[in-house]
């Protein structure tokens, strides 16, 4: 049902109020008509703009655009690849620190790593780290640090008594710095020999 004076009067609205409502309604309708007309003109322009864009793409400028767009996408891909490689290298290096490889061995393993086979966990750590460390230790075995166990370092060798039994003063003798000349084991052995000789 259209909004009309007759309709508003039938609703019991006063005549001066009816005029106000009709005027407000007309302003709204006119505004909507203008807006619709603007959309219609824009829609008509769109076909022209699309045609110009198609022409531009076919022209040299369009080819330049395609070339620049491809170069930009290649650049983004290169940056992403570098960031991924850097993250993989850090995770791999961290895992190799516990591999008992020397620093040179770690550098060799990093330099010759097959980065396509190295993957990261969601937290950025190396996926299958134990397998990668084992493979690196096998591949670069000559760079695995060797651990050797050596006996106690005795700074002062036991005194050579020539088979004589030492006195307590000789056993507990000290050097110029106040250190015992004989180490603890030698002193204990000399004391035991001294006690055995007295019995």
Which is higher by pLDDT, 126 or 62? 126
Confidence of residue 166 (pLDDT cuts 50, 70, 90): confident
Q: Is the CB of residue 119 less than 8 Å from the CB of residue 81?
A: no
pLDDT at 157: 57
Span of 56-65, 102-111, 129-138, 161-170 with lowest mean pLDDT = 56-65
Q: Is the CB of residue 128 less than 8 Å from the CB of residue 162?
A: no
Give me the residue spans of the domains in the chain. Answer: 7-56, 63-143, 168-198
For the chain, what is the mean pLDDT?
A: 79
> In this model, does residue 150 exceed pLDDT 80?
no
Confidence of residue 149 (pLDDT cuts 50, 70, 90): low
**Can you tell me whether residue 98 is helix, strand or coil?**
coil
pLDDT tens-place string over residues 67-120: 888 888 888 888 888 888 888 888 888 888 877 778 888 887 888 888 778 888
Confidence of residue 189 (pLDDT cuts 50, 70, 90): confident
> In this model, does residue 171 exceed pLDDT 80?
yes
In 3D, which of 95, 88, 79, 143 has the Cα closest to residue 115?
Answer: 88
Supply the pTM of this predicted model. Answer: 0.39
pLDDT at 159: 54
Say what percent of the chain tops pLDDT 70. 86
């Amino acid at each position: 049902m259209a909004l009309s004076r007759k309709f508003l009067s039938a609703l019991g609205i006063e005549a001066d109020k009816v005029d106000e409502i009709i005027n407000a309604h007309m302003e709204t309708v006119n505004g909507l008509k203008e807006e619709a007309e603007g959309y219609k003109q824009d829609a008509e322009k769109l076909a022209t703009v699309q045609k110009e864009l198609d022409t531009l793409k076919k022209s040299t400028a369009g080819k330049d655009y395609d070339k620049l767009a491809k170069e930009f996408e290649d650049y983004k891909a290169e940056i992403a690849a570098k960031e991924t490689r850097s993250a993989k290298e850090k995770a791999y290096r961290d895992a190799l620190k516990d591999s008992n490889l020397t620093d040179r061995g770690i550098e060799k393993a990093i330099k010759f790593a097959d980065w396509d086979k190295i993957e990261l966990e969601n937290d950025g750590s190396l996926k299958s780290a134990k397998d990668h460390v084992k493979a690196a230790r096998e591949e670069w075995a000559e760079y695995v640090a060797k651990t050797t166990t050596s006996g106690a370092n005795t700074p002062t060798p036991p005194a050579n008594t020539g088979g004589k039994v030492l006195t307590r003063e000789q056993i507990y003798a000290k050097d110029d710095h106040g250190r015992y000349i004989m180490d603890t084991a030698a002193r204990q052995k000399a004391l035991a020999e001294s006690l055995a000789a007295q019995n």
